[in-house]
Structure 1
């Protein structure tokens, strides 16, 4: 397994430095990736949306003063940004980043995206509970009744941010640069979702819409997609190389998702 993980790693992208916390008192800082040009990428921004929503279940916020400062990593392939003692809830490894970029020696891990991330972290001496799941799978549960599939379109295309230019001008493209709620609503109009955006796939499948990963470019490593699919119990990972092929293949097999283990793993104790 470890050898297979190593083979999935490729050249490193330019790293993004962590954003400094703006609050002057002890609090829990949520780290998530954001494009350098100041835009908001749908999948990464879901981290802010969902963590805030989970906290709201108990009347808490990311602005609360707490007994001890902490930093939380949730949605995204962002573990190479982790620092010592960071808390991890659903994050994953980025296959584009070399192993040398992972420098955190101590992590408080509550859940990870999938078993490939688990194996990578265990190989580096970290204790990892067998709790899998991208927190974006919780959207139907946390926003019950707000979003409903309509099936009014045969399909939509949700590109990864780096693939957006490759589908410019095509009909039924959902931009990952739109507001998170708009992206979710547009995805739910489709009877089939074709996506190179990981979270385009996750949102579609969370609402029971068939989805197929289409590899429009070599920009993104396969690691995060395999990690997600394996974490949902689907090891027979097949992807399309073009939009016509994705239409022909249709969606991946469905899976059952129980939100309780992931929600139970949320680090409520940080908000003492």
Structure 2
């Protein structure tokens, strides 16, 4: 397994630097990746949306003063940004980042995206619970009364940010630079979702819409997609290399998702 993981990891483009925490008092700083130009990539921004919503169910916020400062990593392939002592809830390894970028010697891990991330972290001496799941899978449970699938379109395509230029102007494209709620609403209009955006796939499947990964370029490593699919019990991961091929293949087999283990693993203790 470890050799397979290493084979999936290739040299990256230059990573983005984390934004500084804006609050002057002890608080839980949620790190999520943002493009350097200041735009918002919907999949990464879902980290803020989901964590804020989970906290809100207990009357808490990310702006609360707490007893001890902490930093939380949730949605995203962002573990190469982790620092010593960070708390991890559902994050994953980014396969295009070299192992030398992972420098955190001590992490407080509550859940990870999937078993490939688990194996990678265990191989570096971290204790990892067997709680899998990208927290974006919780969106239907956290916003149960807000979004509804309409099935009014045969399909839509949600590109990865780096693939957006490849499909500019094509019909049925959902830009990952739109607001998170707008992207979710557009995904829910489709009877089949095609995507090179990992979170385009995750949101579709979370709402029970068949989805298929379409690999339009080699920009993104396969690691994060396999990690997600393996974490949902689907090791027979197959992808298309064009939209016509994806339409012929249809969606991947569905899976059952129980939100309780991931919700139970949320680090509530940080807000004591």
Sort the TM-score into its range (normalised by shorter chain): over 0.9
Structure 1 residue 145, shift from structure 2 partner: 1.7
Q: Does 1:8 align with 2:8?
A: yes
How much is the aligned-residue C-alpha RMSD, in angstroms?
Answer: 0.4
Matches within 5 A, 1:212-231: 212-231=212-231
Which residue of 2 is the match for residue 198 of structure 1? 198
Which residue of 2 is the match for residue 110 of structure 1? 110
Structure 1 residue 111, shift from structure 2 partner: 0.2
Structure 1 residue 12, shift from structure 2 partner: 1.8
TM-score for the superposition, normalised by structure 1: 1.00
Matches within 5 A, 1:255-270: 255-270=255-270
Which whole-Å deviations, capped at 9, do the CAs of 1:107-134 have from their partners, x for residues lacking one?
Answer: 0000000000000000000000000000
Give unmatched runs, 5+ long, in structure 2: none
Matches within 5 A, 1:1-272: 1-272=1-272
Distance, in Å, in 2 between the alignment partners of 1:185 and 1:256 is 22
Structure 1 residue 238, shift from structure 2 partner: 0.2
TM-score for the superposition, normalised by structure 2: 1.00
Distance, in Å, in 1 between the alignment partners of 2:62 and 2:87 is 14
Structure 1 residue 13, shift from structure 2 partner: 1.8
* Shift >2 Å, 4+ stretches: none
Give unmatched runs, 5+ long, in structure 1: none
Give the match's secondary structure for 1:209: coil
Give the match's secondary structure for 2:17: coil
Structure 1 residue 227, shift from structure 2 partner: 0.1
